[in-house]
Amino acid sequence: MTEASPYHLRSMRRGDLDQVLAIEQMSYLSPWSRLSFEREVSDNPAANYVVVEQDERVCGYAGMWVLIDEAHVTNIAVHPDHRRRGLGQAMLCELARRAARQGVHSLTLEVRPTNFAAQSLYTKLGFVARGRRKRYYSDTGEDAIIMWLDDARALAAGEVPHEQRSS
C-alpha cells in the first residue's frame, strides 16, 4: 500500500480559484462567487486566505479579515473526501498564527445553528457562542450564532499532525 502524500498549507493564490470554487459549491447552500474570491485574494488588504493541498490538489481553504483588534473568519471549507482529518483545525490554527503576527489575538465568526460539524470544530478549538444575528442567512432566514475566541495564542501555538507549512 502506498502512503498518502503529506498535506501542505500555504497562502491562497488566484490560480487556486477553480478548485476553491468547486469545494465552495460542494460545501455551501449559498456559495460565494468567483468575483468574491478574486476580490479577497487580489484587492482586499485586510484579507488573509490559506489553502491546504495534497499532490498540488486543493483540499480545503479558509480565510479571514484582520481588522484593528479582531480577526473575522469569513470562510472555511474542506473537500468532502478530506474531512475529519484535522484540516479544518489546521487551517484555523494557521489563521490564528497569521492574526497573532499582526498583534491580533481575538477571533470571531458566524455559524448556522444547524451546522453541528462547524460548531463542534469551533468549540473544540475554544470558541464560545456569544450572541446571535437575527435572520442573518437570507437563503433560509436562519439566525447566525456569533462565536468568539478571545485569546487565540494557544491556538496559534497549536501543533497539527500531518501539517507542513510554507508562507
Residues at the contact surface with ligand COA, assessed by CB under 6 A = 27, 76-78, 83-89, 111, 115, 117-118, 120-121, 124
Q: Do the beta carbons of residue 58 and residue 13 sit within 8 Å?
A: no
Residue 103 CB, nearest distance to ligand COA (Å)?
A: 25
Which residue in 86, 74, 49, 78 sits closest to 164, CA to CA?
86
User: Closest residue to ligand COA, Cβ-based?
Assistant: 88
CA 63 to chain centre: 5
Q: Which is nearer to ligand COA, 48 or 75 (CB)?
A: 75
Q: Which is nearer to ligand COA, 32 or 100 (CB)?
A: 32
The residues pairing with 49 across neighbouring beta strands, listed in sequence order, are: 63
Q: How far apart are CA 7 and CA 79, in angstroms?
A: 13
Cell 455551501, located at residue: 28
Q: Which of 53, 70, 110, 137 is catalytic?
A: 110
Q: Which is nearer to ligand COA, 54 or 89 (CB)?
A: 89
Residue 16 CB, nearest distance to ligand COA (Å)?
A: 16
Give the SS3 label for residue 145: strand
Q: Which of 7, 49, 61, 122 is catalytic?
A: 122
122 belongs to the catalytic site = yes
- Please compute, for residue 96, the number of CA atoms within 13 A of its CA located in the half-sphere on the CB side: 27
Q: Would you tell me how many other CB atoms lie within 10 Å of the CB of residue 57?
A: 12
Residue 10 CB, nearest distance to ligand COA (Å)?
A: 17
- Could you give phi then psi for residue 106, rounded to 5 degrees? -110, 125
159 belongs to the catalytic site = no
Residue 25 CB, nearest distance to ligand COA (Å)?
A: 11
Q: Which is nearer to ligand COA, 124 or 130 (CB)?
A: 124
Q: Report the catalytic residues.
A: 110, 122
